[in-house]
Structure 1
Amino acid sequence: MELILASASPRRRELLHQIGVAHLCEPANIDESRLAGEKPEDYVLRMAREKAAAVASRHSGGSLAVLAADTSVVIDEDVLGKPGDHFEALGMLARLSGRSHRVLTGICLNTQRGEVLSEMVETKVHFLQLTREQCESYLATPEPWDKAGGYGIQGLAGAFVSSIEGSYSNVVGLPLAQTWQLLSGQGIKGALENTGE
């Protein structure tokens, strides 16, 4: 085991399992408030770096690398986080309906050598026009409540998405191509590197 995922997200854990990267999970539990005037791109990168740093600080000696990520849904330069209640979730879906938005994920790897490597990935997502009834039906499920923007592309809300430009796994919560490159560049192996052993 060479890696700690600084997250409690089951989706990020599943995505790392998908590419065969063994890891431990340890949530960072930091303040995720956005700073006044902070650009969405800067926000997701800062969050990823702060999450990685918080978990790395608990493990002296550098025996494990720490991977962190932060994903935000952005429309009109507003960051949509996880909805706090039904009214807020309905407002998010109404705002996304019939429009395009951006999904930004900052990823950060604190290496075993103490380096801090980070990157931001963007995907453009196009939503169909949704009726109030469709939104209410979706909100009657458990799916929207722990997800940025109030929807999960990998679940029922996949039906709302007419197309995407960029990484699908980024919208789920962890851009796999970029994450794999970051990890393999530091010698942290997944299933593709282990096939010859």
Structure 2
Amino acid sequence: MLSEKLKNKQIILASSSPRRQELLKGMDIDFLIKLKNVEENYPSNLKEEEITNFLANLKANAFENDLNENELLITADTIVWHNNKALEKPKNKKQAIEMLTNLSGTSHKVISSVCIKNTKHQKTFFDVTNVYFKNFTKNEIEYYVTNYKPFDKAGAYGIQEWLGFIGVTKIEGSYFNVMGLPIHKLYDELIKF
């Protein structure tokens, strides 16, 4: 389907996330991984998808003069939005435990933005999923953080890991968006692009 439409394009995923790579593979798309070091800073007045849109664009703009005619770049960014602030990747065990303690027994939004770019166009879109957590015990949080080391994950958890299995009571929206890529929207946007 999509692979037909993209057969003369070289898809580049600018993400080191194993989850994003796995999801893109699941769409039967051949792609290369190219990474650039980007300082992921954003203006402090930004909220929710404004943050992820800004960062997805920032990552794409790092490739400004490096794309060939037949190349199509995909960048993405994900945050957890809770109590009117962004939870990014925890810097250490203490921060991860703190984040999960705050998320315990509540709902939060997971927002992912994606930017598709070629030499002529750039398109950014986002998706939002509401995730509901049960009340975690202190032991459950410590077990998860110690054994799964979720330091590369926004909000300090992966829905596809142990904590997601035992703790997610309900989700509204795309499961894959919580993993870091709103793959259903990406499919549609790639067909249109």
TM-score normalised by L of structure 1: 0.89
Tell me the matched-pair count.
Answer: 184
**Which one of the candidate residues 129, 132, 136 is aligned to 1:130?**
136
1:160 corresponds to: 167
Q: Please say if residues 126 and 162 of structure 1, whose CA atoms lie closer than 8 Å, have aligned partners that are also in contact.
A: yes
CA distance in 2 between counterparts of 1:154 and 1:68 reads: 21
CA distance in 1 between counterparts of 2:71 and 2:97 reads: 41
Is 1:31 aligned to 2:9, yes or no? no
Q: Please say if residues 106 and 121 of structure 1, whose CA atoms lie closer than 8 Å, have aligned partners that are also in contact.
A: yes
**Which one of the candidate residues 70, 79, 91 is aligned to 1:72?**
79
The aligned amino acid for 1:8 is S
User: Structure 2, unaligned stretches of length 5 or more?
Assistant: 1-8
The aligned amino acid for 2:18 is P
Give me the identity figure in percent.
35
CA distance in 2 between counterparts of 1:50 and 1:156 reads: 32
Q: Please say if residues 6 and 55 of structure 1, whose CA atoms lie closer than 8 Å, have aligned partners that are also in contact.
A: no
Which one is further off, 142-151 or 83-92? 142-151
CA distance in 1 between counterparts of 2:11 and 2:66 reads: 14
CA distance in 1 between counterparts of 2:105 and 2:36 reads: 35
> 1:169: Cα distance to partner?
0.3
CA distance in 2 between counterparts of 1:179 and 1:101 reads: 23
**Which one of the candidate residues 127, 145, 151 is aligned to 2:157?**
151
TM-score normalised by L of structure 2: 0.91
The aligned amino acid for 2:162 is L
SS at match of 2:123: strand
The aligned amino acid for 2:186 is T
CA distance in 2 between counterparts of 1:182 and 1:56 reads: 20
CA distance in 2 between counterparts of 1:116 and 1:33 reads: 20
**Which one of the candidate residues 50, 54, 66 is aligned to 2:58?**
50
1:8 corresponds to: 16
SS at match of 1:102: strand
Q: Please say if residues 107 and 133 of structure 2, whose CA atoms lie closer than 8 Å, have aligned partners that are also in contact.
A: yes
The aligned amino acid for 1:30 is V
> 1:161: Cα distance to partner?
0.7
> 1:86: Cα distance to partner?
1.1
Deviation beyond 4 Å, 4+ runs, structure 1: none
CA distance in 1 between counterparts of 2:107 and 2:183 reads: 22
SS at match of 1:62: coil
Q: Please say if residues 34 and 43 of structure 1, whose CA atoms lie closer than 8 Å, have aligned partners that are also in contact.
A: yes
> 1:58: Cα distance to partner?
2.1
CA distance in 1 between counterparts of 2:42 and 2:170 reads: 29
The aligned amino acid for 1:121 is D
After superposition, the C-alpha distances for 1:115-155 in whole angstroms (9 at most, x for unaligned) are 11111110000001001111011111134121000000011
